[in-house]
Chains A and B, each alone.
Chain A
């Protein structure tokens, strides 16, 4: 039961738990008629703005999903053909920004590391030999 309550946004729950009416009711206290009219109009504008934002968020999510699939495809291609690569991608989603980093350090990096290790070893041996 607790799990149900802690769910971020339970499925089928309204995206607008606070209705336009709530917004207006909260805001209208202690205002004269003219002020109340302006606030009501602004509240209606806000509801429209939120509906537009919702559409934009849906679009961003759908675009991000496609882009992530493309990223996987491209990374798999690179992975088969190249031994060293790095991909850094950023996606705008409904809730924010996703960053994905994929990198492969192949044989060349291992060779460089081995070469550096060997040089260090030779220097240590030479130093100890000279003492």
Chain B
């Protein structure tokens, strides 16, 4: 074999290795951050960020469906998957996100949907300077906008085509319910803002302390950061 044969052999081996790694772990897919966001490994990491009770139910189901051995491995590797230290194999993705949903309770599917909506639907971020006497007029339109976003927020199309069960049958109903619930939750959050601003006013009233007050409102689909100032003194 001459040098060119060696180079060709090396290139072919590299190409085979690339295709294998891409198929097995979804690691080497080109296309930037957006594509990587919906890579199999990334979706498993996101799924495992479910709240404790939902995650425990999910792992119980995993054990029931795939046996104690794989369940033990999953529990052992969970933190590393979450942190991205170990990339879950395609088989792990298929088990967690394609096979388990067929046997998940409706409740657990709703929790997964809620979690994915909050992780993947677009979020808005605002920063506002308000005073204790004009906050309401400045904040009201923004709050309405963010709360209403619960009714329009969607999962990215790429994700929906990958996890079709999220948009089938009763999950559409689950989504409608989730939207109404998230909107109600947003209204509940702001329902006590009057009292909160009374507290801020009391605090800012201690002029000699010159306190700096910032308040962050976190909604499911957006965040508003407020830099709160004292009531503007008016003449007359």
Contact = CB atoms under 8 A, between A and B. Distances in A.
B234 interface: no
A17 B187 contact: yes
Chain A interface helix/strand/loop/mixed: helix
B184 A16 contact: yes
Contact of A61 (B143, B196, B209): B196
B170 A99 contact: no
B206 A76 contact: yes
A96 B220 CA distance: 12
A96 B176 contact: no
A42 B110 contact: yes
Given A35-B170, A38-B106, A94-B192, A101 B212 contact: yes
A68 B202 contact: yes
Contact of B196 (A75, A94, A101): A94
A57 B188 contact: yes
Query: For chain B, which range describes its interface: under 10, 10 to 19, 20 to 34, or 35 or more residues?
Result: 35 or more
Nearest to A65: B199
Contacts of B191: 9, 15, 54, 57, 94
Interface string A89-105: 00001111111111100
Contacts of B37: none
A46 interface: yes
A8 B63 CA distance: 48
Interface stretch (A20-28, A108-116, A120-128): A20-28
Contacts of B177: 23-24, 26-27, 39, 42-43, 46
A79 interface: yes
A72 to B, nearest CB: 6
A3 B33 CA distance: 45
A6 B212 CA distance: 27
A84 interface: no
Contact of B184 (A18, A58, A101): A18
Contacts of A71: 203
Given A29-B173, A42-B106, A95 B217 contact: yes
8 contacts: A15-B188, A30-B173, A42-B107, A42-B110, A57-B191, A79-B208, A93-B215, A102-B209
Given A16-B188, A102-B210, 6 more contacts: A16-B187, A28-B173, A39-B106, A46-B177, A50-B185, A64-B199
Interface of B: 106-107, 110, 136-137, 139-140, 143, 169-170, 172-174, 176-177, 180-181, 183-185, 187-196, 199-200, 202-203, 206, 208-218
